[in-house]
Amino acid sequence: SQKIEQNSEALNIQEGKTATLTCNYTNYSPAYLQWYRQDPGRGPVFLLLIRENEKEKRKERLKVTFDTTLKQSLFHITASQPADSATYLCALVVYNQGGKLIFGQGTELSVKP
């Protein structure tokens, strides 16, 4: 069956450390993978998109990797800050499905000062 799995446990880290979140998928052939941030009571907000032929993408303190052999994406936040505390969602875009996103369950990140 098709599955997208993110760390189900909340991730607690100390300010200044690097947070690493995982997104694994099975039985999908995604064309793209996107990461979103969601704060309580709000809708998800787009952060980064990575294509299947890209290994890595960076934006400020954020870095995303995409390994289609391992069927995994890693999302890193370097020099984390308490303001980075939120739930992070990965989403797959599958070929020939018109840009439809399929979301993982999300990982809650808490950065302690």
Which of 34, 73, 80, 85 is the binder for other proteins (CB under 8 A)?
34
Least distance from other proteins to the Cβ atom of residue 107, Å: 11
Q: Is 23 among the residues that bind other proteins (CB under 8 A)?
A: no
Q: Is 100 among the residues that bind other proteins (CB under 8 A)?
A: yes
User: Which phi and psi angles does 83 have, rounded to 5°?
Assistant: -65, -15
Q: What is the Cα Rg of the chain in Å?
A: 14
Helix (H) or strand (E) holding 101: strand 101-103
CA triple 106-60-79, angle to 5 deg: 75
Q: What share of the chain is helix, strand, coil (3-state, %, to 5)?
A: 5, 60, 40
Least distance from other proteins to the Cβ atom of residue 92, Å: 9
Which residue's CB is nearer to other proteins, number 79 or number 104?
104
Q: Is 58 among the residues that bind other proteins (CB under 8 A)?
A: no
Which residues sit at the interface with other proteins, rule CB under 8 A?
31-32, 34, 41-46, 49, 89, 93, 95-106
